[in-house]
């Protein structure tokens, strides 16, 4: 009986051991599967994290690009706003310029007859004035007339030249001048020195100082002067040449109405 019990107990123990071994084997299999699954999950999570990191980097890059573009757009808006102001100012300048061109055209049409009248008036004035520097003054007027017919001279230059000629004539009235020339005396051309005192008096004296005369505004002829004026005329000539200091002169002056 004891032997049977021992055998049964041994059989039971063997069965228990087998069962334990089977359980252990199954548990190891489950653990291996769980470990493998966990590893797969970890690998998947790592790949997912890498993907997320990549997406995050792309998002950061895109965000930076967006911010740069926003700044560029803001700068372009400011620049375009400034350009619009400049274009607006240029358009206004163009309108003003076109208006000025129209005004210049009107002024040019009006100023040309004015300049012609001024030249004709100067010619008449010189003809009625005391006869000094006749050749020079006549040439100046002829040159102005020829200039008015030229198309290559701008109206502004024409007007400047006319005003310049008027200024020269104006200066004659407040200056004293001495110059040489030929003058008919007793039917003979003589070398003389002319003395112009403004437009008040025009006198001459021969180079030897023996003969002198004065232009008579009333008769528009030359009158001979006696020798009493010789010294005064010589003194006036020296003053005009800046050889002596200005001083009072005694010269005949015609009284005009």
Check residue 229 and give left, alpha or beta (phi > 0: left; psi -120 to 50: alpha): alpha
Q: Give the pTM.
A: 0.58
Mean pLDDT lowest for which of 11-20, 28-37, 221-230?
11-20
Instruction: Say yes or no: 142 and 207 in one domain.
Output: no
Instruction: Say yes or no: 76 and 153 in one domain.
Output: yes
| Residue 246, in any domain of the structure | no
Instruction: Say yes or no: 100 and 151 in one domain.
Output: yes
Q: Which of 176, 167, 254, 195 is nearest to 219 (CA)?
A: 254
The residue-averaged pLDDT of 61-80 equals: 82
Instruction: Say yes or no: 167 and 223 in one domain.
Output: no
Instruction: Say yes or no: 130 and 216 in one domain.
Output: no
Does pLDDT of 18 surpass 70? no
| Residue 30, in any domain of the structure | no
Does pLDDT of 17 surpass 60? no
Residues 22, 31: Cα–Cα separation, whole Å = 14
The pLDDT, as a whole number, for residue 192 is 96
C-alpha distances in angstroms, 8 versus 2, 16, 22, 195? 10, 12, 21, 174
| Residue 33, in any domain of the structure | no
The pLDDT, as a whole number, for residue 118 is 95
Instruction: Say yes or no: 153 and 100 in one domain.
Output: yes
Output the average pLDDT for the chain: 84
Model pLDDT for residues 108-118, shown as the tens digit of each residue: 778 889 999 99
Instruction: Say yes or no: 181 and 118 in one domain.
Output: no
| Residue 253, in any domain of the structure | no
The residue-averaged pLDDT of 151-166 equals: 93
Residues 105, 94: Cα–Cα separation, whole Å = 16
Sheet holding 201-206, edge to edge: 176-185, 188-197, 201-206, 212-216, 221-225
Instruction: Say yes or no: 77 and 131 in one domain.
Output: yes
Structure-token match 């009333």, residue found:
218
| Residue 55, in any domain of the structure | no
| Residue 20, in any domain of the structure | no
Instruction: Say yes or no: 204 and 164 in one domain.
Output: no
How would DSSP label each residue in 232-250? HHHHHHHHHTTSS------
Instruction: Say yes or no: 140 and 80 in one domain.
Output: yes
| Residue 209, in any domain of the structure | yes
| Res. 6 pLDDT band, cuts 50 70 90 | low
- Between 168 and 73, where is the model more confident? 168
Instruction: Say yes or no: 161 and 186 in one domain.
Output: no
| Residue 144, in any domain of the structure | yes
Instruction: Say yes or no: 113 and 140 in one domain.
Output: yes
As given in the structure block, the two tokens for residue 115 are 């300049």
- Between 97 and 240, where is the model more confident? 240
Residues contacting residue 131 through CB under 8 Å, at least 6 positions apart: 202, 215
- Between 76 and 4, where is the model more confident? 76
The pLDDT, as a whole number, for residue 64 is 85
Domain count of the chain? 2
The pLDDT, as a whole number, for residue 84 is 83
Handedness of CA 245, 246, 248, 251 (dihedral sign): positive
Q: Domain of residue 180: give its range.
A: 175-240
- Between 83 and 119, where is the model more confident? 119
Q: Residue 176: CA atoms inside 13 Å, Cβ hemisphere, count?
A: 18
**Among residues 147, 172, 197, which one ends one of the domains?**
172
């Amino acid at each position: 009986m004891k032997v049977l019990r021992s055998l049964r107990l041994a059989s039971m123990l063997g069965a228990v051991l087998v069962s334990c071994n089977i359980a252990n084997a199954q548990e190891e299999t489950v653990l291996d599967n769980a470990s493998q699954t966990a590893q797969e999950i970890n690998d998947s999570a790592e790949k997912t994290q890498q993907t997320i990191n990549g997406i995050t980097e792309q998002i950061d890059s895109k965000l930076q690009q967006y911010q740069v573009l926003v700044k560029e757009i803001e700068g372009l808006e400011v620049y375009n706003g400034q350009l619009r102001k400049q274009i607006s100012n240029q358009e206004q300048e163009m309108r003003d310029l076109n208006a000025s061109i129209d005004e210049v055209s009107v002024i040019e049409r009006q100023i040309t007859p004015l300049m012609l009248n001024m030249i004709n008036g100067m010619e008449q004035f010189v003809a009625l004035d005391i006869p000094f520097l006749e050749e020079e003054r006549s040439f100046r007027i002829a040159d102005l007339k020829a200039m008015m017919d030229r198309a290559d001279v701008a109206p502004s230059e024409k007007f400047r030249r006319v005003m310049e000629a008027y200024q020269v004539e104006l200066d004659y009235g407040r200056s004293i001048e001495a110059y040489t020339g030929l003058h008919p005396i007793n039917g003979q051309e003589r070398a003389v020195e002319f003395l112009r005192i403004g437009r008040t008096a025009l006198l001459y004296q021969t180079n030897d100082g023996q003969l002198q005369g004065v232009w008579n505004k009333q008769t528009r002829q030359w009158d001979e002067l006696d020798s009493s004026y010789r010294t005064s005329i010589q003194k006036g000539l020296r003053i005009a040449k800046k050889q002596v200091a200005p001083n009072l002169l005694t010269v005949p002056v015609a009284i005009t109405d």
